[in-house]
Amino acid sequence: MRVSLNWLRDFVEVTKDIDTLTDTFTLHSMEVASTEKLIDASDLVIGHVRACEPHPDADKLLVCDVDVGQETLTIVCGAPNVAAGQHVIVALEGATLAGGLRIQKTTIRGVESRGMICSLSELGLPMKYHQETGIHVIDDEVRVGEDAREVLGLNDDVIVLDLTPNRMDLLSMHGVAYDVAAMFDTKLTIAEPKVTYDKHTNPMTITSDTDACKAYYGSVIENITIKPSPSWLKARLIAAGIRPINNVVDITNYVMLETGQPLHAFDFDLLNSEIIVVREARQGETFTTLDDKVRTLDAGDVLITDGTRPIALGGVMGGADTEVHAKTTRILLESAAFSPLHVRRTASRLDVRSESSMRFEKGIDIAKLRFALDRASELLIELAGATVRKDVVYVDRLDTSEQTIELPLSTLDKVLGIRLSQARVEDVLRRLRFRYTIKNDVVVITKPTRRPDFENHQDIIEEIGRIHGYASVPETLPRTVSVGELTDKQRFRRAVRETLLGLGLHEAKTYSLRPRETVQRFAVDKKTPVTVKHPMSERRAALRLSPLGGLMEAASYNVARGQSSVHLFEVGHVYAPTGEEEKLAGLMHGVYRPRHWQTTTALNFYTLKAVLETLFKRFGVSVQYTPATLEHYHPHQAAVLDVAGTRLGHLAKVHPAHAAAHDLSDVYAFELDLDVLYDAREPSLRYQPVDRFPAIERDIAIVVDRLVLAGEVINAIADTGIGALRTVNVFDVYEGTPLDDDKKSLGIRMVFKDPEGTLQAEHVDRRVNSVIEHLRTVFDATLR
């Protein structure tokens, strides 16, 4: 809402300067988005063009004699529309115009020019408000030499309020005036309109078939002369951000801004009958709105009809057929109450949000329907020479019974956490101009019609609180006694992050919404993606099935900027139709922990496996790796991970083709289900006594078929269940001469320990022999 201070002063005493107003609004009413001067120009007077001759030495310039009261100035003017006899705006020598332009005496092609005849744009009024290309010619009766800013209503300040949806009352100058009166405790001066009616009766009859329009007032107004509005009215509309059109349209807008009640004018002579029927539209019915668009309607849209055809979309937009035009002399003026819900649905479905629909959507002051009609009539008589037929016709089924809201003073104190005296509360209520009584420490407030947002006593607490001011509320802490702590899962998640950070991976965050066509990429479990109904763009259309898509983009972004070593992980949700899962995903590219001047260790599959194993050991989780063929990944460097038979995730080298598509070389990636890892963790710490007896290590080297997996061999050894065997590890892998091409050698280290006593070497040897025997049977292994 753009609030003109000139206009505001019509309704309330404003004693403070604009900075104080702004600060007070901010702390007690509504955020002030900005303040503006309507025009930023000085030293402007009304001039009268006495004569206008072509410049002797320039085709397109005119030399004008302009009477500015004290003297007559010679001014060279380039506007083709300047002419003798006009009243114009003259910027005197020393004047400042929009953009800081200073007016000085100049000589233009031999003619001395003292001042400038101004266009509205030069004063700083944007073209959209006036559409004048030449100088501004004043239609009003004015006196030469007067301050043009004052005469034209342009010496004004505008406060732009950033309205919240609950304060529909501030969508009118009256509403703003009420708030100013409450905040500063000053006088309200809103006058009742006075209309002189003529003797002719109003021929209209009005019916409404729908509760979406419970009240409809119509006035017939005649003898109208359509012409531009006077400057002061135009200036106020412009201050409010509305483009002046002609006096009739301007007056409906003006009254709407003043009262908050939208009005609509039909050309009375274009109506097919003398009846108005308000009804709900039939599904599929069409109607041409005044922007000449054919609208297809839904049941539930509210139509104003003249009994033969629709003439307006109630509260949203008028029709093209009955629009006021330059030759209009008679109008039917509508002031009605349309249901917020219906207007909202219609306006948003048809995507037509107007000043009018916005006010109906947020709720109007139902006591202002007749007031607004009368106010507009008053102005039409004054500014369009109109006469008003004596009967205002209407239907009105609005519930005007008074509603009350009770607020115990103790509740007020209990919510605000302060003690407000009854005198103070009454003072605030008086300033707010609420009707109230106080009995037994309970305030009973009559709900003002200008505040349809009020529902219960919380609204009243809010009003009292803001006018009283929140600065005096002390700062305390809740007395609720409680234990604050993280859950096991939350602690676990923090530990996961901490572990990976310690291993040199940065934590990343990527967007959940991804392009539909690539959203399955890198997700091993190819579920149907969840998509949003109306995406803002194709790039953000589907919810990710894996964080790896975003992480690959991040890697690509970094590498393209010279950051070749990228190690990232992300903890976040993925979204399948079956539900959300929390994933831990990551990737590594480039060099891991580069050794600078020493040798550099190349990053490979086992680097990331080591990272993961460190994480798994952190939580006591033992993971099985199984070779797998996974789409988007290297066919021979990919594994799926399981814990105790449950799929945990995967670890793999990204397929070189996909890596190359991201301008990356060797990328290794993993994705784990965080819940599976959480469930698999060792739930509690168990202490085991430190071994008192020495361990015995035995190394063997076996030759097996090249395709035999190290994991299989380790498992096979562990499966023998041989006593005292504690760990089995592979310490060497060798392929090449003198081995056959299809063979490889594995160096295996076994550690034996007996908690009960020192192992005898010969016992251990016997066990090693039985391991060898087992491997011979299972893998056809030979000792090397």
Partner 1 sequence: MDIQSTIKKLERELNEALVSVDKIEALQDVKAAFVGKKSELSGLMRHMKDIPNEEKPAFGQTINAAKQRFNTMIESRKKAIQAKRLARKLEQEKIDVTLPAPDFTRGAQHVLTRITESLEDLFIGMGYLVKEGPEIETDELNFEKLNLPKDHPARDMQDSFYISDETLLRTHTSPVQVRTMLEYGGTKPVKIICPGTVYRRDDDDATHSHQFMQVEGLVVDKDTTLSDLKGTLLALARHLFGEDRKIRLRPSYFPFTEPSFEVDVTCAGCDGAGCATCKQTGYIEILGAGMVHNNVLEAAGYDSTQYQGFAFGVGVERLAMLKYGIDDIRHFYTNDVRFLSQFKGELS
Give the footprint of partner 1 on residues 166-225 (CB under 8 A).
166-167
* Least CB distance to partner 1 at residue 24 (A): 11
512 binds partner 1 (CB under 8 A): yes
- Restricted to residues 250-269, the positions that interact with partner 1 (CB under 8 A) are none
535 binds partner 1 (CB under 8 A): yes
Question: Are residues 312 and 354 in contact, defined by beta-carbon separation less than 8 angstroms?
Answer: no
Segment interacting with partner 1, rule: CB under 8 A, options 35-43, 252-260, 550-558, 640-648? 550-558
Beta-carbon contacts of 257 under 8 Å, excluding residues fewer than 6 positions away, are 172, 173, 236, 237, 240, 242
Q: Backbone dihedral region of 306: left (phi > 0), alpha (psi from -120 to 50 degrees) or beta?
A: alpha
* Least CB distance to partner 1 at residue 366 (A): 17
Q: Which amino acid is at 11?
A: F
Convert residues 444-463 into a mask of x (bound to partner 1 by CB under 8 A) and - (unbound).
Answer: -----------xx-xx-xx-
Cβ count within 10 A of residue 479:
5
- Restricted to residues 397-426, the positions that interact with partner 1 (CB under 8 A) are 414-418
* Least CB distance to partner 1 at residue 217 (A): 25
- Restricted to residues 515-534, the positions that interact with partner 1 (CB under 8 A) are 530-534
3-class DSSP state of 706: coil
3-class DSSP state of 80: coil
3-class DSSP state of 784: coil
* Least CB distance to partner 1 at residue 420 (A): 12
Segment interacting with partner 1, rule: CB under 8 A, options 63-71, 86-94, 215-223, 472-480? 472-480
Size of site (CB under 8 A) for partner 1: 93
Nearer to partner 1, 196 or 410 (CB): 410
Segment interacting with partner 1, rule: CB under 8 A, options 21-29, 190-198, 215-223, 623-631? 21-29
Q: Which amino acid is at 67?
A: D
Picking from 65, 41, 42, the residue whose alpha carbon sits closest to that of residue 52 is 65
* Residue 729 DSSP class: E
494 binds partner 1 (CB under 8 A): yes
* Least CB distance to partner 1 at residue 601 (A): 10
Nearer to partner 1, 390 or 506 (CB): 506
What's CA 359's distance to the chain center, in Å?
21
- Restricted to residues 567-626, the positions that interact with partner 1 (CB under 8 A) are 567-569, 572-573, 575, 579-580, 593-598
Picking from 343, 335, 353, 270, the residue whose alpha carbon sits closest to that of residue 313 is 343
Segment interacting with partner 1, rule: CB under 8 A, options 79-87, 464-472, 612-620, 637-645? 464-472
d(CA 104, CA 295): 55
Nearer to partner 1, 362 or 368 (CB): 362
- Restricted to residues 26-85, the positions that interact with partner 1 (CB under 8 A) are 26-31
The secondary structure of 230-267 as a DSSP string is PHHHHHHHHHHT-----HHHHHHHHHHHHHS--EEEEE
* Least CB distance to partner 1 at residue 667 (A): 15
Question: Are residues 273 and 376 in contact, defined by beta-carbon separation less than 8 angstroms?
Answer: no
Q: Which of 385, 502, 683, 694 binds partner 1 (CB under 8 A)?
A: 502
Segment interacting with partner 1, rule: CB under 8 A, options 220-228, 235-243, 501-509, 776-784? 501-509
439 binds partner 1 (CB under 8 A): no
Question: Are residues 748 and 713 in contact, defined by beta-carbon separation less than 8 angstroms?
Answer: yes
508 binds partner 1 (CB under 8 A): yes
- Restricted to residues 307-346, the positions that interact with partner 1 (CB under 8 A) are 340-341, 344-345
d(CA 268, CA 203): 11
* Least CB distance to partner 1 at residue 676 (A): 18
Question: In sequence order, what are the beta bridge partners of 160?
Answer: 2, 34
Nearer to partner 1, 55 or 344 (CB): 344
3-class DSSP state of 294: strand
- Restricted to residues 351-370, the positions that interact with partner 1 (CB under 8 A) are 361-362
Picking from 259, 158, 278, 302, the residue whose alpha carbon sits closest to that of residue 218 is 278
